[in-house]
């Protein structure tokens, strides 16, 4: 029992050290980083469709293009004309919802992975680490008391 308490205390100190060293941002900074992109025209339509499909339909470029009545290539070209690309827009939408699902809705990592249309839990975890530098479970532990 004492060992478990010592381990929990050490973990809290490690988390606090990460904050102190600046390697972890505040929740508000992550929320700002994860804002939905402010885009117009075709990119805005892509973000809108992605947002509508989150949690219940595939988020692939082919499916989004089809919903917008465009070919995949035409969608790519129109996004490129506005200095956007599909993968970045989808990533931003996924990042936005991942924080909400982790902190506010307390969904499981597997549920979040499925809702955000990742192929598996590992793919989601790797993407989340790319976005934040933290695993989803570490992020949740750090910020669960802030909501």
Structure tokens at 95: 């990042």
pLDDT tens for 32-76 read 999 999 999 999 999 999 999 999 999 999 999 999 999 999 999
> Are 68 and 53 within 8 A, CB to CB?
no
Which of the 8 DSSP states describes residue 71? -
Q: Give the predicted TM-score (pTM) of the model.
A: 0.84
pLDDT tens for 1-18 read 555 454 444 444 454 444
Query: What does the alpha-carbon distance between residue 131 and residue 109 come to, in Å, rounded to a whole number?
Result: 16
Question: 3-class DSSP state for residue 23?
Answer: coil
> Are 102 and 136 within 8 A, CB to CB?
yes
Of the candidate CATH numbers 1.10.4080.10, 3.30.413.10, 1.10.260.40, 1.10.10.60, the domain formed by 20-146 belongs to 1.10.10.60
Buried-state track 104-134, b at ≥16 Cβ within 10 A, e below 16: eeebebeebbbbbbbeebeebbebbeebbeb
Average pLDDT, the chain: 88
> Are 46 and 89 within 8 A, CB to CB?
yes
Q: How many other C-beta atoms can be found within 10 angstroms of the C-beta atom of residue 91?
A: 16
Tell me the CA distances in angstroms from 61 to 19, 52, 72, 89, 137, one per residue in order: 37, 14, 7, 11, 28
Domain residue spans in the chain? 20-146
Residue 26 backbone phi and psi in degrees, to 5: -80, 165
- Mean pLDDT score, 132-139: 95
**pLDDT top residue among 24 and 39:** 39
Query: What does the alpha-carbon distance between residue 34 and residue 3 come to, in Å, rounded to a whole number?
Result: 37
- Mean pLDDT score, 85-97: 97
């Amino acid at each position: 029992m004492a060992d478990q308490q010592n381990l929990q205390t050490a973990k809290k100190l490690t988390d606090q050290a990460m904050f102190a060293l600046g390697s972890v941002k505040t929740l508000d900074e992550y929320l700002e980083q994860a804002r939905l992109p402010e885009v117009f025209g075709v990119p805005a339509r892509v973000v809108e469709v992605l947002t509508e499909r989150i949690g219940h339909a595939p988020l692939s470029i082919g499916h989004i293009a089809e919903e917008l009545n465009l070919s995949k290539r035409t969608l790519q070209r129109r996004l490129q004309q506005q200095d956007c690309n599909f993968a970045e827009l989808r990533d931003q939408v996924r990042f936005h919802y991942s924080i909400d699902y982790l902190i506010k809705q307390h969904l499981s990592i597997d549920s979040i992975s499925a809702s955000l249309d990742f192929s598996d839990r590992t793919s989601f975890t790797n993407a989340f680490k790319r976005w934040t530098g933290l695993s989803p479970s570490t992020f949740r532990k750090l910020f669960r008391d802030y909501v």
